[in-house]
Structure 1
């Protein structure tokens, strides 16, 4: 993480603000996590032949601006053809993030298991998030952070 910040400073990218590193990283992480959540909902990866004839498929994205602790971030929320996809990370009709993804990452970084995280989210936030989805979020986010570090 330190090298990521040093690289941003070296290249002149501000850490905060509308075009800052935090907002760029937040956008990338949220979009990857939402894609992962849609994959979980549909039951197959994008482009997977198993999805043909399944009755539901990916249907592009919808732009949405969410307010985070670092300011507004414009994200592209994936949607499905049937309209049955209900994202838990950035729920429909919600503009302010409730930081579930931040909580998942924070708890995961402290060594909690996906089962512990699932129970905690249910107790504190009333959010029904499966262990599989939590695993997907953490895997995607770890990949995203590594990609940012390798730039």
Structure 2
């Protein structure tokens, strides 16, 4: 019924199956995009009112200030973060440090 989708899955099977090697908690963290979408929405709210930025640095400064304000509002920890961070530390060793 969907030959293009099936072909894509077959062509990329090794990359797709790598996702299923993670634990369910890590998979949920990967595919849950609400936090990222919320962050982008708030940054867009700040930048959309500006028509043109005089330089890239001006844009970077504005986004940094928006990030500083947005991050101050983050109060909810990720659910199961203790478990997820331990699993990531086991899987990635030196690349992931538990703080």
TM range (shorter): 0.3 to 0.5
Give the alignment's TM-score, normalised by structure 1: 0.27
Higher helix share: 2
Q: Which has the larger radius of gyration?
A: 2
Higher strand share: 1
Give the alignment's TM-score, normalised by structure 2: 0.37
